[in-house]
Amino acid sequence: MQAKNNSKAKIISKITDYVNSVDFITFAYIFGSFGRGEAFSDIDIGTYVKGSLTKSPLEIEFEIEDKIEDLTGYHADVRVLNYAPASFVFQVIKDGILIKDVEPDIRSDFEGIVFKKTHDFIRFRNEYLGEISNAPI
């Protein structure tokens, strides 16, 4: 693992170069405290993988995490967005920094589906929270 004295711009560049070299990643985001430019203890990355997987999403996450940790010296937390809950993916899209986008049409379609699912879910969530907040204990 490299020393932790890299600037954020250098770290983003290293991560972007690596992610761009991975053929099965269609698009990727940096998100979380690192992506927002705040103090951070790890680097959060969301990836969308194309095609049928030869490895489990968890194996892919661990593989990418190990490589990013070696490149940056920081702990990495990677999520394969194809298999993540819509509410989580919505936050990644909304707050993240897009660092790879080789097929914008696929990304745009995926984001549209996530926005629709999230919007539909929020209505039910708000109804539920309204009901339980008024329920007698």
CATH number at residue 83: 3.30.460.10
At residue 1 the predicted structure's pLDDT band, cuts being 50, 70 and 90, is very low
In a domain, 2, yes or no: no
In a domain, 77, yes or no: yes
At residue 18 the predicted structure's pLDDT band, cuts being 50, 70 and 90, is very high
When the pLDDT of each residue in the chain is averaged and rounded to a whole number, the result is: 89
In a domain, 72, yes or no: yes
The residue that leads in pLDDT, 11 or 130, is 11
The residue that leads in pLDDT, 5 or 50, is 50
Range of the domain at 20: 8-133
In a domain, 1, yes or no: no
Taking residues 97-114, what's their average pLDDT? Answer: 96
Q: In this model, does residue 3 exceed pLDDT 50?
A: no
The pLDDT tens digits for 56-81 are 999 999 999 999 999 999 999 999 99
Residue 130's pLDDT is: 73
In a domain, 31, yes or no: yes
- Domain count along the chain: 1
In a domain, 33, yes or no: yes
In a domain, 54, yes or no: yes
Residue 137's pLDDT is: 64
Residue 120's pLDDT is: 73
The DSSP result for the chain, as a single string, is ---S---HHHHHHHHHHHHHH-TTEEEEEEEHHHHHTS--SEEEEEEEE-S--SS-HHHHHHHHHHHHHHHHSSEEEEEEGGGS-HHHHHHHHHH-EEEEES-HHHHHHHHHHHHHHHHHHHHHHHHHHHHHHSS--
